[in-house]
Amino acid sequence: MYLPPDNSMLKNVLSWYQNKLYYSSASSSFQSLINSRFVIYACNYFNATNKTEYINSLSNKTEMFFNYENQYIKENRIEDMVSLQCVGIAQKKSQEAARYLQDANTSISKAGLSHRVV
């Protein structure tokens, strides 16, 4: 995974938002959040005394978070063009997240690390 060394993504996000390009702004904001969490999770993994427990805990928390947020997305109403863009990007990212979560669970199972609690 490549993480940009500067804040160019943030500058682009702000510019797109100011120009009412909400879909592009939200999409890049999501990617920035993903990049940040990747670094945090990787550091926590390498610092964990029980890596299997950490992976299972993170997997369970991620799945619960995904289910909660996905329900929230489904309940949002589209009222205007701005909300259409916002709900649209949230739904697209939710679908991507579902695929990544499925892939992660498959990898965890193949590695013999899974003891699902969810």
pLDDT in tens, the chain (118 residues): 555 555 677 778 888 888 888 888 888 888 888 888 889 999 999 999 999 999 999 999 999 999 998 888 888 888 888 888 888 888 888 888 899 889 988 988 888 876 554 4
State how far the Cα of 103 lies from the Cα of 39, in Å rounded to an integer.
Answer: 19
Residue 42 lies in a domain: yes
Q: Provide the CA 73 distance to its chain's centre, in angstroms.
A: 14
Task: Give the pLDDT confidence score for residue 116 in this predicted structure.
Answer: 53
- Determine, yes or no, domain membership for 103: yes
Query: Which residue type does 94 have?
Result: S
3 in a structural domain: no
- Amino acid occupying residue 58: L
Q: Does the residue 118 lie in any domain? A: no
pLDDT at position 5 is 55
Residue 13, CB-side half-sphere exposure with 13 Å CA sphere: 12
What pLDDT, on a 0 to 100 scale, did the predictor assign at position 110?
86
pTM above 0.85, yes or no: no
Query: Which domain, by its residues, includes 52?
Result: 8-110
Per the structure, how many domains does the chain have? 1
Sign of the Cα torsion 104, 105, 110, 114 reads positive
Angle at 54 between CA 51 and CA 55, to 5 degrees: 90
